[in-house]
Amino acid sequence: MPRTTFIRSLLLTTLLVVSAVTCLGQSTTGTVTMSATVSKFVEINSGGAVTLTGNSGGGVTTDGVTNSPLAVAINLGELGPSNTNSFVTAQVPLKLRSNAAYVLSMAATVTSSGTTASRITAADVGFGLGTVSRTGLGVNSGSDTNATSGDPTLAANGSVNGTTGRYEFTAVRSNLSAFSSATTALSGPIIMNAVPRSNANGLTVPAFFAVKPQFFENGTTTISVTFTVTAP
């Protein structure tokens, strides 16, 4: 082999060796990139046992259990004049939790076996949300907006109609006729601070339902109410 060819071959081989060593080089750094997603989260659960007062007969068929899905059933009992109490009232505690601003809406249907204007209608069922409570570890302080008029049995929220003689819940969103479709009942800012779901605290608010015993047309009436909480 000519000397120049040998040198060139050696040079090429050396270049390849250097290149190979370089390609096999180590690194003194490494990278770990992390990401996480927090979606808006809202939930509604029972805030505890139902309180039924002023009833004649009836009772709580399915009671609320704190922190369990809200699914209560109540028999309001007799709503005719034989019930001499001023109101039959059911108080249903609600518990809301969210990591974002929330809106609690409600939709109600009232169906009666009666056929006349004297049957029980949605307007005869008083409704309102009571005092909102944001207490406990991990609950964010904030100001909520109650779109109802509160306890419907308050004197300011209803009266006997001077013309018809029928008792009426007259205040803003104080009876179920205002909730024939999903309508806002309560709204507010983020409820929970950054705490795990196992933290059982939250926003609690009582939902009041009231009926004034009157000379309603006899029959049976079914009232169905659905609460929905969203994070717009």
Q: Which residues bind other proteins (CB under 8 A)?
A: 7-8, 10-11, 14-15, 17-18, 21-22, 24-41, 43, 97-100, 137-138, 140, 190, 192-199, 201, 231
- Shortest spacing between CB 188 and other proteins, in angstroms: 15
Q: How far apart are CA 90 and CA 81, in angstroms?
A: 18
Query: In which residue are the tokens 């096999």 written?
Result: 24
Residues 192 and 101 sit within 8 Å (Cβ to Cβ) = no
Widest Cα–Cα separation across the chain: 127
Cβ count near 135 (within 10 Å): 10
Q: Work out whether strand 102-112 and strand 145-146 pair parallel, antiparallel, or are unpaired.
A: unpaired
- Shortest spacing between CB 103 and other proteins, in angstroms: 15
CB proximity list for 86: less than 8 A, separation 6 or greater: 54, 153, 212, 213
The residue (of 23 and 155) whose beta carbon lies closer to other proteins is 23
The residue (of 138 and 150) whose beta carbon lies closer to other proteins is 138
- Shortest spacing between CB 137 and other proteins, in angstroms: 4
The residue (of 67 and 91) whose beta carbon lies closer to other proteins is 67
- Shortest spacing between CB 67 and other proteins, in angstroms: 13
The residue (of 38 and 73) whose beta carbon lies closer to other proteins is 38
